Chain A
């Protein structure tokens, strides 16, 4: 690491500012040689470069600091950035570990044996591009260019998307939609005509009451949101948490409703019932903006708290009391839409119920509710029009998922599995920055899709389970070694953030920009890549906005004042038109009705765990982002593995002790390929177990993360598809304990 500042060096430095030293002398205790106790003297030599974080999708902007040898030392937040307000989260602070991880992908690799076996040969970039281009052209000739698909997560997606569109395919999906927040967007668009987006437009900073339904706020460490959450707690806002698990947020709540899992809809409907029938809702707001109130009122008539009690195990008086708390805080109340909401297959409808609650409480467009984000407009470079694909992924699902606003990663995967009655299967995948094996539920299905492919290219910084199946692995440099697309952020004030390389590339790696361009050249698509360097492209983009690359280097983040004072557009109840069919807030969703879906949410009972089984609930830990950070040395140091939370009653029944390794087996007989240690804790309900998602790596090239903890993904085999938008409900599995492992299973 860095060299310590020796005594002689220090004296020399001190000599330059001897006067200052005299004044500051109480700090320097020469007798005890305190100066020598230090090996860092920040400010004396460090320089910093702007970046925005790529460890998770929150993408906070910050500064990379260098030590006296010019090496990457630490990362801190950018004070001007609304995503982080100058403070990075543990993952962002530990982002340095991503750069220093010695297990990284270091050079292009081409498969030499069958998929799933980790046998590759090193290749030159040109060789790798040629291989990919030949296969892509083959697919184009034989089946059409739309049989190529791109799965992407992260900031390289824009460039690779440009490549795929230029090639002639629109099959571009991010698992963050159908495996995460899609139902929320569809449910809110169906109600308010607008989605929630990221970062969420929730005005937690100013709220008086925050209702969290199974949300992992705090543990998810979505930075700005958690900051506002803590502010709200400190200011005495009422927090109501609905969760079978005593989450971190539950620990800070005035009301914790330890609900029976899979029954949230009954609680939401009962709340709607109480708000309406006890006349607690915002009558003026509903009268002015809402459509379908009478239908809603008639619909929820029978959904009383007493009815919900039998389903949710939450006492009727608690349901009424919490509804009153919300109404008292109205309109500064947020029934939080959540983020990872693909649970039981009726998730869009549950999100609709949440949207309706917010509408009744008058929180949309009001202070302390949902604000109206401003987003700067940033020009993209001119290019010839993209060829129009003949088909896209929807073709594989006639009359299904009609409300899906974005491509479904799971849908594209399904459309790849042969044998389905359709005339176009997807034949080629490019997978960028997403470990599909762990990300998509039903691993058997994913593997069947992969084995049917003509080509699979994986672009990543780290070996992952998915890289084991790649035909070609293109090693991406980390975000600390590259320029990237501008981060364009919608927030209370719009902003853009710049990422520049903080260090030379450590290995023979490239950025997504370089890969997309160079592959584009091989495919004869040069016109779509007009800039020779990324610097030139960024500079052009910024100059179009009246800025420049040099200026952005100095500030990192540029905020744009709101063009109009419309942060809370419905404050004072002005006339307002929503982007819905009726121009109103649709309590009764006409868009849903038109497509043949229920216009009002109803409760459906979900399957319950059989005797000896427990519902598998998975979630987040603040120090890891899914499965991608498991091997990061700094973050591994904070959390090496996940554990399975077991209620003491259950532990007693099974004779389980803390730290005892167990294997989990689901109702379909799938056994976890690695063991997981037990944590006996009161923090989980007796009918459920809980584990953090993203562990149990099976790729032995991850020297730290390999075999640590267990993977929830491999136990998720019962996927409940959301009929409205194709979201994959992943809370339908139950597990039991096996005290001994299965015979060696090759996955």
Chain B
């Protein structure tokens, strides 16, 4: 196992406000791999992401999730992050009065631990370099965290944070929504530059479009709160071409959303 990260999800069930959304998710993501989870709206994709990160609204009722063999589910949200899990969110929060740069430095130092803090100047130099790579104006460093950012700027800022924090396993939750083709390319380049054997990636998306830029090794389809089909990259292309109905027919699923048999 050594330095190859591993996120292992087994039989995961989760509830939101008393309603079961995840109904037995099994998935393993290792360093060097890119997995994509696709599926129509309301099938539990984002719930999976938030549950893994530990959002208090989501209540895991059964199953397990580990990172590098350690039980993720007993950890606090911050601890999961410090163990190397990262979630690029679909709707990042705005926090007024907190500068982007200070926030990221704080997060990085929390990960590095006391006594290993990054020197301030070095941090800012590297931050500016990473921002440039994502075509972000230098002024973004001093702006309040996500406040007044456009949808695309928020998404870029998520990728910037990922580049700064260098997680072992990252989940991108609909990072492509609201991005035009140029922004999509920039974001994809940013993600691809992090790829390597010490970085595992789980991409959640509606569309195959993003997967033209970030090539997945495995593609999974989620319906009714679990993964119903897995395949290679060609599965994404097939879904793009034919939609989801053929798969529903094949699986005998009438309503793919989780609300169906709730």
Partners in one complex: no
Residues of B whose CB lies within 8 Å of any CB of A are none
